[in-house]
């Protein structure tokens, strides 16, 4: 009876996870999806206390302490994190999931080794069963790589790590560590003793670090998505090892969704995933030797506001710079003023805008921008030709026409928002430097482009004041 209740509860939790994930696929239902997924986690956590393998006061105390510490830290950080720091938090929390999966694998492999010592003979796969032992090793590998790799991603996004190489010939070192890790995993699967287990996990953690270190900042949204997929797969494998259907279903769904998102984002950059992982793109500046032709033409914020007020159609393209300036609220105030003047205003979002998937959507939702004003690249690109003014605030590489015209550019072939095809382009930018990838943006030198230099929020405030004066 109890076993049936436990399995039914785990199945219910898995269903709630799937419903929650489905809800998160749209900004309009994302909040509801998060709530459903949270309810599923509560069900899975509560029913764990009834599991027959959880016995003894000591185990209950440890579980309660872990929940209190983890839940308390999560509640505190969720309340205080800035929107600009959201990518770092996602990377960090995702790493914790991979680390948990790796820790479960380590515990099960060490327990199998203890039983082997008592039996006096055999190998890990004979003690655990070949299928369980294989998934324990594979899940431990993937979870450990996702854990250490996500920590490196967090450190890079948070500005705590600038390096793109730890050792000479970093990619060659990666191959050596990867091969050694696989051999150690085979040793764990076929052999006995605790040394191969510790060696295997040490190499897996090291490989995660070595894998993430060479990757440039411009590729971090793809990398975060990839590590999220790896964490989901690791959790699914651990569900099989534990005989927990909720973990199997939830982990598999998260892993599949993460891999699909990774593929879509790599496609949006027109770069295969292997190129993201091994090319080192975005690690150094890569502008053309003699730079773009022409010069930047500057305009004041007030004049930019007047231009918007007398336009018929405006498209706003936000980027990470808007997040840094916390300008989304002032931009939405500006949009409302323009709408009062019967200006058709829309937002255009590139799939890899910001530092994580959906970063710009979250920022705009925080400011209260209606979902029906936000359009993906494929939905709005054709409309730029009929746009009076395109406003770029904080975006850079995703609007760089070099991706369409300059075959020598590192971003050549990457689908971009066709901002340069608008009649007029206003670029709100703090300074004259290149973007996150280090590639010089030819849009800034276009004949139809005017630069509005300054902090995004302050510039938007002055534009709002200019529109109000009319």
**Mean pLDDT, rounded, for 210-233:** 84
> Is residue 196 very low, low, confident or very high in pLDDT (cuts 50, 70, 90)?
very high
Q: Which residue among 284, 314, 336 closes a domain?
A: 284
371 and 431 assigned to the same domain: yes
Q: Does 70 fall in a domain?
A: no
Residue 308: CB partners within 8 Å, gap ≥ 6? 314, 334, 338, 343, 389, 391, 426, 463, 467
Most confident of 117-131, 323-337, 437-451: 323-337
Give the global pTM: 0.79
The percentage of the chain sitting over the pLDDT mark of 90, rounded to a whole number, equals: 43
> Is residue 435 very low, low, confident or very high in pLDDT (cuts 50, 70, 90)?
low
Q: Does 416 fall in a domain?
A: yes
382 φ, ψ to 5°?
-70, -20
186 and 253 assigned to the same domain: yes
Q: Does 7 fall in a domain?
A: no
CA atoms 21, 270, 437, 170: torsion sign: positive
Q: Which residue among 255, 284, 313 closes a domain?
A: 284
452 and 417 assigned to the same domain: yes
Q: What is the pLDDT of residue 287?
A: 43
CA distance 134 to 130: 6
356 and 254 assigned to the same domain: no
CA atoms 279, 283, 272, 230: torsion sign: positive
State pLDDT tens for residues 151-187. 998 988 887 887 777 888 888 899 999 999 999 999 9
Q: What is the pLDDT of residue 197?
A: 94
Q: What is the pLDDT of residue 175?
A: 92
Answer whether residue 246 shows pLDDT above 60.
Answer: yes
CA atoms 371, 376, 382, 387: torsion sign: positive
250 and 311 assigned to the same domain: no
Q: Does 447 fall in a domain?
A: yes
Residue 276: CB partners within 8 Å, gap ≥ 6? 215, 219, 222, 223, 266, 269
Residues 105-131 as b/e (b if ≥16 CB within 10 A, e otherwise) read bbebbeebbeebeeeeeebbbebbeee
User: Which of 59, 41, 40, 39 lies closest to 49, judged by CA?
Assistant: 59
Q: What is the pLDDT of residue 291?
A: 55
Q: Does 38 fall in a domain?
A: no
250 and 384 assigned to the same domain: no
263 and 316 assigned to the same domain: no
**Mean pLDDT, rounded, for 53-73:** 84
Most confident of 13-17, 152-156, 177-181, 352-356: 177-181
> Of 48-62, 107-121, 188-202, which gets the smallest average pLDDT?
48-62
CA distance 258 to 249: 14
Q: Does 35 fall in a domain?
A: no
CA atoms 355, 359, 364, 367: torsion sign: negative
The percentage of the chain sitting over the pLDDT mark of 70, rounded to a whole number, equals: 93
Q: Does 371 fall in a domain?
A: yes
Q: What is the pLDDT of residue 280?
A: 54
Q: What is the pLDDT of residue 3?
A: 78
CA distance 61 to 65: 6
CA distance 87 to 100: 20
318 and 272 assigned to the same domain: no
Clarify whether 420 is annotated catalytic.
no
Answer whether residue 374 shows pLDDT above 70.
Answer: yes
Q: What is the pLDDT of residue 289?
A: 43
**Mean pLDDT, rounded, for 408-434:** 86
Mean pLDDT across the chain: 86
141 and 188 assigned to the same domain: yes
106 φ, ψ to 5°?
-60, -45
Helices of type H across 24-129: 30-48, 57-80, 86-119, 124-128
The two tokens of residue 18 are 């799937």
- DSSP code for 419: G
Place of tokens 């509640």: 75
Residue 408 belongs to domain spanning: 301-469
User: Which of 351, 352, 441, 450 lies closest to 405, judged by CA?
Assistant: 441
Q: Which residue among 284, 309, 324 closes a domain?
A: 284
> Do 363 and 328 meet the contact criterion of CB atoms below 8 Å apart?
yes
> Is residue 224 very low, low, confident or very high in pLDDT (cuts 50, 70, 90)?
confident
Answer whether residue 205 shows pLDDT above 90.
Answer: yes
User: Which of 141, 158, 154, 160 lies closest to 212, judged by CA?
Assistant: 154
Q: What is the pLDDT of residue 463?
A: 96
Residue 432: CB partners within 8 Å, gap ≥ 6? 296, 444, 453
State pLDDT tens for residues 76-134. 988 888 777 888 888 899 999 999 999 999 999 998 888 888 777 778 888 888 889 99
User: Higher-confidence residue: 317 or 171?
Assistant: 317
**Mean pLDDT, rounded, for 384-396:** 94
Answer whether residue 332 shows pLDDT above 90.
Answer: yes
> Do 452 and 427 meet the contact criterion of CB atoms below 8 Å apart?
yes
- CATH number for the domain that contains residue 386: 3.40.50.1220
- Overall number of domains in the chain: 2
The two tokens of residue 46 are 């509560």
State pLDDT tens for residues 33-43. 999 999 998 99
State pLDDT tens for residues 270-300. 777 777 776 654 444 444 445 566 788 999 9
Q: Does 65 fall in a domain?
A: no
**Mean pLDDT, rounded, for 44-53:** 81
User: Given 192, 219, 397, 418, which residue is catalytic?
Assistant: 397
Q: Residue 1, Cβ neighbours under 10 Å: how many?
A: 5
316 and 238 assigned to the same domain: no
**Mean pLDDT, rounded, for 443-449:** 92
Q: What is the pLDDT of residue 218?
A: 63
271 and 367 assigned to the same domain: no
Residue 16: CB partners within 8 Å, gap ≥ 6? 36, 37, 39, 40, 43
> Is residue 208 very low, low, confident or very high in pLDDT (cuts 50, 70, 90)?
very high
Q: Give the CB-side neighbour count of residue 65, counting CA atoms within 13 A.
A: 6
CA atoms 409, 410, 412, 416: torsion sign: negative
Q: Please report, to the nearest 10 degrees, the dihedral formed by the alpha carbons of residues 184, 185, 186, 192 taken in order.
A: 80
Query: What is each CA distance from 435 to 162, 320, 327, in whole angstroms?
Result: 16, 10, 18
**DSSP-derived pairing of the beta strands 374-376 and 344-349:** parallel
Long-range contacts of 417-420 (CB under 8 A, 24+ apart): 417/317, 417/348, 417/350, 417/377, 417/380, 417/381, 417/384, 418/381, 418/384, 418/385, 419/315, 419/317, 419/384, 419/390, 419/392, 419/443, 420/384, 420/446, 420/448, 420/449
Q: What is the pLDDT of residue 438?
A: 63
């Amino acid at each position: 009876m109890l076993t049936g209740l436990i399995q039914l509860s785990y199945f219910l939790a898995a269903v709630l996870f799937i419903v929650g994930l489905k809800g998160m696929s749209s900004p309009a239902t994302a909040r509801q999806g998060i709530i459903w997924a949270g309810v599923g986690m509560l069900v899975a956590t509560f029913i764990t206390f009834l599991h027959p393998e959880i016995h003894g006061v000591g185990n209950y105390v440890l579980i309660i302490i872990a929940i209190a510490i983890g839940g308390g830290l999560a509640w505190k950080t969720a309340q205080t994190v800035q929107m600009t720091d959201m990518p770092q938090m996602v990377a960090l929390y995702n790493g914790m999931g991979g680390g948990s999966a790796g820790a479960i694998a380590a515990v099960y492999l060490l327990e199998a080794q203890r039983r082997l010592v008592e039996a006096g003979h055999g190998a890990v796969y004979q003690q655990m069963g070949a299928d369980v032992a294989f998934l324990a090793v594979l899940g431990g590998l993937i979870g450990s790589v996702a854990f250490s790799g996500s920590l490196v991603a967090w450190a890079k996004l948070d500005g705590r790590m600038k390096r793109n190489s730890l050792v000479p010939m970093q990619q060659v070192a990666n191959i050596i560590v990867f091969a050694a890790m696989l051999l150690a995993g085979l040793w764990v699967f076929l052999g006995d003793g605790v040394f191969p287990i510790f060696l295997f996990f040490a190499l897996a953690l090291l490989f995660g670090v070595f894998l993430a270190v060479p990757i440039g900042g411009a590729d971090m949204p793809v990398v975060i998505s990839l590590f999220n997929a790896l964490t989901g797969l690791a959790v699914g494998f651990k569900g099989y090892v534990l005989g927990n259907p909720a973990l199997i279903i939830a982990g598999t769904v998260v892993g599949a969704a993460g891999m699909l998102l990774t593929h879509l984002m790599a496609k949006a950059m027109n770069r295969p995933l292997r190129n993201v992982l091994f090319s080192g793109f975005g690690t150094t500046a890569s502008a053309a030797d003699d730079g773009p032709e022409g010069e930047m033409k500057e305009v004041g914020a007030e004049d930019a506001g007047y231009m918007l007020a007398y336009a018929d159609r405006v498209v706003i393209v936000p980027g990470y710079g808007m997040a840094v300036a916390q300008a989304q609220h002032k931009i939405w105030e500006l949009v409302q003023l323009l709408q009062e003047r019967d200006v058709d205003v829309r937002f255009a979002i590139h799939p890899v805008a910001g530092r994580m998937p959906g970063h710009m959507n979250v920022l705009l939702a925080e400011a209260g921008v209606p979902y029906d004003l936000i359009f993906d690249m494929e939905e709005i690109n054709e409309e730029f030709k009929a746009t009076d003014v395109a406003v770029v605030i904080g975006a850079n590489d995703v609007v760089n026409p070099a991706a369409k015209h300059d075959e020598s550019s590192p971003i050549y072939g990457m689908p971009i928002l066709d901002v340069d095809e608008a009649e007029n382009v206003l670029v709100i930018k703090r300074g004259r430097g290149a973007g996150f990838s280090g590639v010089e943006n030819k849009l800034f030198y276009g004949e139809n482009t005017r630069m509005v230099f300054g902090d995004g929020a302050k510039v938007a405030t002055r534009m709002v004041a200019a529109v109000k004066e009319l």
